[in-house]
Chains A and B, each alone.
Chain A
Amino acid sequence: MIAINDLTFAYSGQPPLFQDYCLHVNRGEALSIIGPSGCGKTTLLYLLAGLRHPQSGKIIIGDKPISRPRPRSGLVLQDHGLLPWQTVRENARLGLTIWGFYGSDGRHAPADEKLVPNQADQRVDDWLKKLGIEDLKNQYPLQLSRGQRQRTAIARTLAMKPDLLLMDEPFSALDAPTREDLQNFIVRLHAESDLTYIIVTHDIEVAVVMGKKILVLKKGCNQEAQIMDNACAGSTDSRMQAEFQLKCEDLRKLLGSMT
């Protein structure tokens, strides 16, 4: 699904965050990326989203190297992703509206599917229902809680039928019950489809719940992918088990040893 080959990236005037970095992610994989702030985890996600461009090396998603946002990749950020002047429903439909704006040109929008306006509306309403925010569809983001806003952002992304879901700290600003609910939602969705997802987090428990593999980044220059396998990923219910706690302990130690 994803092949990163010899990636080098630095912000201008700063030492490189990645140098000759290689990473492979299989289709249907669930990957967590964790590391201290400033380690480049968000940067790596933006590189995968096509919003930043490497100085050298290639990022191949599907079978094509990416140079701009890829139509079938979805991105969910921590906050500030919704248009404040549009209702929940209009926001959730925005991806499909932009798709309609360009047509199925394969550059801005998927080329392998024609978009019919009625179907688009239906698709958006389905996701609003699945995410439990159907009743809020005529409200504006300013009237919503953070959790409801994040549900809207997720609905907007899923309405595009992504095969790759990229998430940057999507649950960090949420209260615990909402966070667990949405984590389980994504995990369930992943189990039911062949969706590949990558979640960036600074939270050890989130990383262990969400990632069948956990990629650990360090502050400074990352040259080799440090990946930890994790059999404990899945539902948030497993958190109380000893095995889960041990895994968290392992990850904590690994993070500590790298700084």
Chain B
Amino acid sequence: MRRRLNIRAALIGLLMFFAIWQLLAWIIHRPIMPSPLQVLPIFGASLFGDLGIHFLASTGRVLAAIGLAVVAAVPIGLGLGQVPKVNRIFAPLIAIVYPIPKIVFLPVIYVLMGITDISKIFLIAIIIFFQILVVVRDEAANLHPELILSVRSLGAGRRALFRYVYFPASLPAVLTALRVSVGTAIAVLFIAEQSLTTYGLGYYIVVETYQVLRYPEMYAGILAMSLLGLVLYFMIYNMELKVNRYRGEEQN
């Protein structure tokens, strides 16, 4: 497992990010590329105002989608992984549906589920769902049969097996899948929020700022969306480090 991110490296990264941004602002020298010195104060002030509400709306949607996807995908993945017969039936279907960019279903979902938050959350959830489904299935299929037998001999039935074997065994893979898919999830959220809502960073960036030429405010929105992705990514990354501790000092 990779090392923990240290604070110094994070600061250097941030500094470089803002330095390059500032350079670009000087070179391009047009309203579409404002300086970070102009954007950061707006970001700081509006994050506790209207931008904050949009930020919370987006965060809520992503978290709800993650929750929904995990709750649905983990049990189905475990089931498929443990019952090869059923997996053989569904594996081709999953292989076909898995690579479809789910965003294309946006209109279908709107028509079927209505123009509510639920449909946006559902769209993001199905993206994450397939990522998790596939890794949990493979993880469960790769568990040593002898491990399952010996834990069953200790008295474990289905519930205890899930609690003490399947769930902890697939947790690292679930987190990795989440971390990898959270970027796509936020990208799709951005698109889904551009219409048919009045709250969310996508709406803020496109409708409230970009379309009325408030470029510095638009950049504050972009920063907020980046922050959302960044925070989710590193929160998941940290959990991964924790659950993978046992792999730390392998002997051979």
Which residues of A are in contact with B by a Cβ distance under 8 Å?
A: 46, 49-51, 69, 71, 73-87, 94-95, 97-99, 101-102, 108-109, 140, 142-145, 153, 156-157, 160, 166
Contact = CB atoms under 8 A, between A and B. Distances in A.
B164 A97 contact: yes
A143 B251 contact: yes
A95 to B, nearest CB: 4
A133 B164 CA distance: 23
A98 B147 contact: no
Nearest to B150: A81
A51 B247 CA distance: 30
Contact of A83 (B147, B249, B250): B147
B214 interface: no
Contact of B251 (A69, A94, A142, A157): A142
B144 A80 contact: yes
Interface in B144-202: 144, 146-147, 149-157, 159-160, 163-165, 168-169
Contact of A143 (B147, B153, B249): B249
Contact of A94 (B151, B169, B243): B151
Contacts of A99: 155
Nearest to A78: B146
Nearest to B251: A143
Given A51-B153, A94-B164, 10 more contacts: A77-B149, A86-B246, A87-B246, A98-B160, A101-B164, A102-B155, A142-B246, A142-B247, A143-B250, A143-B251
Contacts of B152: 51, 69
Interface of B: 144, 146-147, 149-157, 159-160, 163-165, 168-169, 243, 246-251
B250 A77 contact: no
Contact of A109 (B153, B155, B246, B250): B155
Contacts of A95: 154-155
A101 B150 contact: no
Given A80-B147, A153-B150, A98 B156 contact: yes
A69 B153 contact: yes
Contacts, number: 88
Given A98-B164, A142-B250, A142-B251, A79 B146 contact: yes
Contacts of B150: 75-77, 80-81, 153
A49 B163 contact: no
The 10 closest A-B pairs by CB, nearest first: A75-B153, A81-B150, A95-B154, A108-B155, A140-B246, A80-B146, A80-B144, A85-B246, A142-B250, A98-B160
16 contacts: A49-B149, A50-B153, A69-B152, A69-B155, A71-B155, A75-B150, A76-B150, A78-B146, A80-B147, A81-B150, A101-B159, A108-B155, A108-B156, A142-B249, A142-B250, A143-B251
A86 B144 CA distance: 16
B250 A81 contact: no
B140 to A, nearest CB: 14
A35 to B, nearest CB: 20
Nearest to B248: A140
Given A49-B153, A85-B246, A156-B154, A108 B160 contact: yes
A83 B168 contact: yes
A27 B246 CA distance: 41
Contact of B243 (A78, A80, A85, A142): A85
Contacts of B155: 69, 71, 95, 98-99, 102, 108-109
A50 B157 CA distance: 12
B142 to A, nearest CB: 12
A60 B163 CA distance: 30
Nearest to A97: B164
A108 B157 contact: yes
A77 B148 CA distance: 11
A142 B248 CA distance: 9
Given A85-B168, A140-B246, A101 B160 contact: yes
A153 B150 CA distance: 9
A153 B151 CA distance: 11
B123 to A, nearest CB: 34
Nearest to A94: B154
B90 to A, nearest CB: 22
Contact of A81 (B146, B156, B243): B146
Contacts of B149: 46, 49, 51, 75, 77
